[in-house]
Amino acid sequence: MSEAATPLGRFWADFKDSPVAVVALVVVVAIVVLAIGAPWISPQNPYDLGGLSLLDARRPPGHIGTGGYVHWLGTDAQGRDLLSAILYGLLISVQIGFMAGCVALAVGASLGVIAAYAGGLIETLIMRIVDLQLSFPAILLALVLVALLGQGKAQLVTALVAAQYAYFARTAYGAATTERRKDYIEAATATPLSRTRVIFRHLLPNCMPPLIVVATVQIANSISLEATLSFLGLGLPVTEPSLGMLISNGFVYMMSGRYWISVYPGIALIVLIVAINLVGDQIRDQLNPRLRR
């Protein structure tokens, strides 16, 4: 193999060695593309009530509906084409997961780096709160917050961020405490650069590798948490039907053997989450110095 020049090139060269991870990455990209393209590629707009017919309700996969096309994955209780509903649901799930992951990364990483750089009282205060929160299960925290904040996208993302930023803060803090003792930070501090600039332009970028691993895993976790909350009826409002809600709606019909309403959205959800986790796993192994060959 040719020696790649940039760190990113080296990283990609290592990444390519794991076929599982490459397949997983392809799946993630494909799902994101499908989700974003949902309004154009799905056979039906599942939330245009005028396009739905109750004659098509709860039909098994392969049924040819009144619309004249095949419902490959069947229809739900309102006569919605499940394939379309899944594509739209994926879009909502991906959006929520990505937003929650990014905001949690920004908030958590900033807090962790600031704690490590500032030291003293600020460090104790921030890290005490973070540690306290880490000992508390994220799902319970998110559950309570969603119950308190009410339903809605912004509320849900807030709850997910509040439940997850602590992981980023811990990781950033760990990386930053080692980084800040290095000479380049001392050199930067000696120059007339502002503290903010030293923290965010010099310290933070060098703490990114472990944070990227956490971010990958946390995006998957956000998607899973969102689905769980929506399944429990506490996540998004009915007007924003994510995958969790589709699964929840189908649960009642599952007992009578109409499995597809719950099962197919669930499969879509799991493929997405597992693929993200597999990519994250590979990145983690590559960045772990103890497993370096």
Partner 1 sequence: MSGYIIQRCLQAVVVMFAMSVIVFVGVYAIGNPMDVLIPLDAPQDVRALIIARFGLDLPLWKQYLVFLGNVAQGDFGRSFVYAIPVLDLIVSRLPATLELTLAAVIGAAAIGVPLGIWAGYRPDALSSKTIMGVSILGFSVPTFWVGLILILTFAVWLGWLPAGGRGPVDVVLGVEWSIFSLEGLSHLLLPAVNLALFKLAMMIRLARAGTREVMLTDTIKFARAAGLSEGTIVRHHVLKLIAVPIVTVFGLELGSTLAFAVVTETIFSWPGVGKLIIDSITSLDRPVMVAYLILVALLFVTINLLIDLAYAVLDPRVARSRAA
One residue of 254, 284, 285, 287 binding partner 1 per CB under 8 A: 254
| DSSP state letters, 231-248 | HTT-SS-TTS--HHHHHH
One residue of 9, 39, 62, 150 binding partner 1 per CB under 8 A: 150
- Residue 135 is a binding residue for partner 1 (CB under 8 A): yes
Given the DSSP bridges, would you call strands 63-64 and 70-71 parallel, antiparallel or unpaired? antiparallel
| DSSP state letters, 211-235 | HHHHHHHHHHHHHHHHHHHHHTT-S
- The whole-angstrom separation of Cα 236 and Cα 61 is 27
Please count the residues of this chain forming the interface with partner 1, following the rule CB under 8 A. Answer: 37
Residue 264 near residue 249 (C-beta atoms within 8 A) = no
Q: Which residues pair with 81 in a beta bridge?
A: 75
The nearer residue to partner 1, 198 or 246, going by C-beta atoms, is 246
Measured from the CB of residue 67, what is the shortest distance to partner 1 in angstroms? 28
2-61: contacts with partner 1 (CB under 8 A):
none
The nearer residue to partner 1, 2 or 135, going by C-beta atoms, is 135
Residue 170 near residue 112 (C-beta atoms within 8 A) = yes
199-228: contacts with partner 1 (CB under 8 A):
220, 224, 227-228
Buried b (16+ CB within 10 A) or exposed e, 30-67: ebeebbeebeeebebbbeeeeebeeebebbebeeebee
- Residue 269 is a binding residue for partner 1 (CB under 8 A): yes
Measured from the CB of residue 90, what is the shortest distance to partner 1 in angstroms? 15
Measured from the CB of residue 2, what is the shortest distance to partner 1 in angstroms? 27
- Residue 238 is a binding residue for partner 1 (CB under 8 A): no
- Residue 155 is a binding residue for partner 1 (CB under 8 A): no
- The whole-angstrom separation of Cα 229 and Cα 176 is 33
- The whole-angstrom separation of Cα 67 and Cα 86 is 18
- Residue 232 is a binding residue for partner 1 (CB under 8 A): yes
- Residue 281 is a binding residue for partner 1 (CB under 8 A): yes
Instruction: Please report, as ranges, the residues that interact with partner 1 according to CB under 8 A.
Output: 132, 135-137, 139-140, 143-144, 147-148, 150, 220, 224, 227-228, 231-234, 244, 247, 251, 254-255, 257, 259, 262-263, 266, 269-270, 273-274, 277-278, 281, 290
